[in-house]
Amino acid sequence: MHRLEVVLRRLVGWLFALLFFRPWRASRRALLSTAKRVVLVRIDARVGEALLTTPLVAALEKTHEVHLVVHPKCARVLEGLPGVAGLHVFERAWLWNPFSPQRRALMALCEGAVVVNAASWVEYSGTPSLVARVLGAGGCVVGPPLGPARLLADVTVPPRADTRREVDQRLHYLSPLVPAPTGAMRFRTPRATPSVEALVAQHPSFAVVNPGGRLGERRVPTPVFSRVTRHLTAKGVTPVVTWGPGEEALAREVLDDGQGVLAPPTSLDELAFLMSRARVVVCNNTGPMHLSVAVGAKTVALFWRMPTEQWGHPFAPHAMVELTNEPNVEAMVARVVAALE
């Protein structure tokens, strides 16, 4: 059933691509050197995906006026981000309604601008390709040459052959605009609350341990985190075990066989504040891992059945620890402890 669904989506994608294909739009390439406004389209609902878009803002902020079109769930992640002139929420309803005031306003914003479809560079994504094309009717559309998307973009950007790292590949979308674009992930200054400020004051030397993750099958086994909390405690560092929606039981399980304190429920800003004040953050490869790196915390990220070379941040002061092929918990713990040391 899943394979049939993929085939049908691809067929629909080609249908819309052919309907919107305008080969004479090649002249739009001239906007790459003259446009002062860039609109980045990234409508994935995941926190990590939103954070992985922030290096593009950093690469453009000194030369262009930067706007973001994002999924409603990710507006909270990018709100207040330095360098963003406008944050616009994508609503599927206005995509199909040519009379929608929101759609008309965004199309006016994109008139004469460069619109970048910053979707996956690995797999074809139909909706962001179509959104970028609709909004960029009066601009120049840049995007990946994947499947039907190649007909919807005025300028296609093939992936780099020398790296699989997400940040580098996404920055590469800007190469027609900016020579050798560079930028790092970022987040706004976290907004603290009395509850997390009190927690920080109570534990002057603490680490954030986040054992959760969106996909359970990609989480490192819970006993690894329990053992890590004991190691941190022995070093005089209090483990503060954080958790997201539906993960409180998992956090308590870590502490049942470990040591430390259970964090209160945290908002995205509260979690970011804790991470920014922590001695180190230990977490799975998940949204909080990208958040930790974005706020500048020393991050030990544990990878389990996910490609480190694609999703990791392999530079100081961070450590990306690949555990997929380790034979048992003891071997995993030894690798994590070595990274902490």
Q: Is 188 a domain residue?
A: no
* Residues 263 and 163 placed together within one structural domain of the fold: no
Residues 108, 113, 116: CA angle, nearest 5 degrees = 110
* Residues 206 and 166 placed together within one structural domain of the fold: no
Compute how many other C-beta atoms are within 10 angstroms of the C-beta atom of residue 67.
21
Tokens 């996909």 sit at which residue? Answer: 215
* Residues 117 and 252 placed together within one structural domain of the fold: no
pLDDT of residue 126: 85
Are 137 and 106 within 8 A, CB to CB?
no
Q: What is the CATH number of the domain that holds 27?
A: 3.40.50.2000
Structural domain span for residue 149: 9-172
* Residues 60 and 134 placed together within one structural domain of the fold: yes
Q: What are phi and psi of 319, to 5 degrees?
A: -130, 125
Cα separation, 46 vs 17, whole angstroms: 26
Q: Is 265 a domain residue?
A: yes
* Residues 147 and 21 placed together within one structural domain of the fold: yes
Alpha carbon distances (Å) from 246 to 216, 251, 252: 12, 10, 12
pLDDT tens over the chain, length 341 residues: 456 665 666 666 666 666 666 666 778 899 999 999 999 999 999 999 999 999 999 999 999 999 999 999 999 999 999 999 999 999 988 888 989 999 999 999 999 999 999 999 998 888 899 999 999 999 999 999 988 888 889 999 999 999 999 999 999 999 999 989 999 999 999 999 999 999 999 999 999 999 998 776 778 999 999 999 999 999 999 999 999 999 999 999 999 999 999 999 999 999 999 999 999 999 999 999 999 999 999 999 999 989 999 999 999 999 999 999 999 999 999 999 999 98
Q: How many CA atoms lie within 13 A of 270 on its CB side?
A: 17
**Lookup: tokens for 252:** 């308590």
* Residues 23 and 122 placed together within one structural domain of the fold: yes
* Residues 69 and 203 placed together within one structural domain of the fold: no
Cα separation, 189 vs 186, whole angstroms: 9
* Residues 151 and 255 placed together within one structural domain of the fold: no
Cα separation, 153 vs 116, whole angstroms: 9
Cα separation, 293 vs 121, whole angstroms: 22
Tokens 């309604």 sit at which residue? Answer: 97
* Residues 56 and 165 placed together within one structural domain of the fold: yes
- Domains contained in the chain, number: 2
Tokens 């004991």 sit at which residue? Answer: 230
* Residues 166 and 263 placed together within one structural domain of the fold: no
* Residues 145 and 22 placed together within one structural domain of the fold: yes
Provide the Cα torsion 201, 206, 207, 210; round to 10°: -50
Q: Is 212 a domain residue?
A: yes
Q: What is the DSSP letter of 280?
A: -
Q: Is 19 a domain residue?
A: yes
Q: Is 224 a domain residue?
A: yes
* Residues 216 and 309 placed together within one structural domain of the fold: yes
Compute how many other C-beta atoms are within 10 angstroms of the C-beta atom of residue 61.
17
Q: Is 1 a domain residue?
A: no
The whole-model pTM stands at: 0.91
In one letter, which amino acid is 6? V
Residue 192 CB-density burial (10 A; 0-12 exposed, 13-18 middle, 19+ buried) = middle
In one letter, which amino acid is 329? V
pLDDT of residue 305: 87
Pairing of strands 86-89, 299-303: unpaired
Q: Is 4 a domain residue?
A: no
Q: Tell whether omega for the bond before 223 is within 30 degrees of 0, i.e. cis.
A: no
Q: Is 136 a domain residue?
A: yes
**Lookup: tokens for 126:** 């139909």
